[in-house]
Amino acid sequence: MPANRVFLDAGGQSPVSRRAADALLAGLADGWADPTRLTHESRRARALLDGAREAIADVLGADAAHVHFLPSGHVAAERVTAGIFRARRGRERIVASAVERRAVLDAAEHAAPGAVDLLSVDGAGHVDLDELATRLGHPSTALALIQHANQEIGTVQPVDEVAQLARRAEVPLVVDASASIGHIEAPAEWDALLAEPADWGAPAGLGIIATRPRTRWLPAWPGEGWAPGGVSIPLALAAAVALQERRESHEANRARLAAHTARMRDALSGLEGVTVVGDPDSRVPHLLTAAFMYLDGEPVVTRLDREGFAVGSGSACGTAAFEPSHVLAAMGALTHGNLRIGLHPAVSDDDVERFISTLPRVLEDVRRSMTSH
């Protein structure tokens, strides 16, 4: 990345560390063979894959035998939803929070067309636990999809209470931890967990499903197992190394990034027509979203880009760059224009201050150009 660039769009994909890149190359040198075959080369590849799986399982709080690499985060969301749904034959509805990632909502709608019940959220993005309890009590509910942290606003859901309700109702709970693993501790209770290595600084191209030994699922796709045909072993190795790297500096990063986002929340809230959304306390440290009154997101992103700052806008996981955010809509927040910030651990105090001092001028420019048309 050029020295003058400040990357503030690290929710999802971000620059890959030297250690993760080295792991990728090591995985390429020793893990190129098909791990299902019986030769020396295949045994070596299998050992690397197993090692990567164990390292990741340890951070997820899962059994390595029940941690599965999928060829993408979208495929992981699709399969965990369809697989558990299929094993609940006779129950035809899925309950999900309205602020789940688009990939998860699409997976639910695909598995149970027209039978997805969306849970409303409050102004900070928390699910309504009473509504959840009611839905879980319904005999037609096959499974629940509730995220750990939100990919746009950073709000952390009360997953312990959610898990307790699901356990009591005997409804399998899938927790999407794609925006939290690598940033805060993994949630403790779930029947299946989703994680995405690109979000913790690994190269993109892999998704992870963890299940419990008790979790029942049936394949709802061609072939056997969660990922027939397998996945890239170099990517799996890089994912494990990147997660280890984040974990080593977890505490230090967490405090530093939380201070950065707190500083930004303060500064942005003071700007006219700007509202910072999401829970100010119960949140992942690196994410922040601000909603604009009257302003479009696109020209703000484009001008900031020209000034050297990469930020996001629209929906974090939409297929188009400026799909309006369903997360903000569900919270009753402004959805006209917004700014989404995801801090990489390498972001410095100086980067943050430069951004804070640049933004008011950019917003003013955009406002002026909009009124002059």
Q: Which residues bind a second copy (CB under 8 A)?
A: 1, 5, 7, 9, 12-16, 21, 24-25, 28, 32-34, 36-42, 71-75, 77-78, 102-103, 106-107, 109-110, 203-205, 221-225, 227-235, 298, 301-302, 305, 310-313, 317-322
- In whole angstroms, the minimum distance from the beta carbon of 159 to a second copy comes to 23
Contact 260, 352 (CB under 8 A): yes
- In whole angstroms, the minimum distance from the beta carbon of 251 to a second copy comes to 26
Contact 12, 151 (CB under 8 A): yes
CA distance 298 to 303: 9
Of the two residues 28 and 329, which places its CB atom closer to a second copy in the complex?
28
Give the strand order in the sheet containing 274-277.
274-277, 287-292, 337-342
* CA-based nearest residue to 71, from 301, 225, 282: 225
- In whole angstroms, the minimum distance from the beta carbon of 105 to a second copy comes to 9
CA distance 147 to 144: 10
Q: What is the DSSP letter of 64?
A: G
Of the two residues 165 and 237, which places its CB atom closer to a second copy in the complex?
237
Of the two residues 312 and 345, which places its CB atom closer to a second copy in the complex?
312
- In whole angstroms, the minimum distance from the beta carbon of 280 to a second copy comes to 26
Of the two residues 196 and 279, which places its CB atom closer to a second copy in the complex?
196
- In whole angstroms, the minimum distance from the beta carbon of 157 to a second copy comes to 22
Tokens 């998860």, residue?
Answer: 104
Of the two residues 230 and 280, which places its CB atom closer to a second copy in the complex?
230
- In whole angstroms, the minimum distance from the beta carbon of 255 to a second copy comes to 26
Amino acid in the structure at residue 105: L
CA distance 193 to 146: 10
- In whole angstroms, the minimum distance from the beta carbon of 66 to a second copy comes to 18
Of the two residues 252 and 321, which places its CB atom closer to a second copy in the complex?
321
Of the two residues 29 and 255, which places its CB atom closer to a second copy in the complex?
29
* Cα four-point dihedral sign 118, 324, 266, 7: positive
CA distance 350 to 249: 20
Paired sense of beta strands 141-147 and 93-97, if any? parallel
Residue 283 token pair:
């949140």
Of the two residues 39 and 249, which places its CB atom closer to a second copy in the complex?
39
* Cα four-point dihedral sign 120, 122, 125, 130: negative
Contact 147, 194 (CB under 8 A): no
Residue 198 token pair:
């690109």
Of the two residues 155 and 178, which places its CB atom closer to a second copy in the complex?
178
- In whole angstroms, the minimum distance from the beta carbon of 33 to a second copy comes to 6
The DSSP bridge partners found for residue 83 are none
* Cα four-point dihedral sign 292, 176, 172, 167: negative
- In whole angstroms, the minimum distance from the beta carbon of 39 to a second copy comes to 4
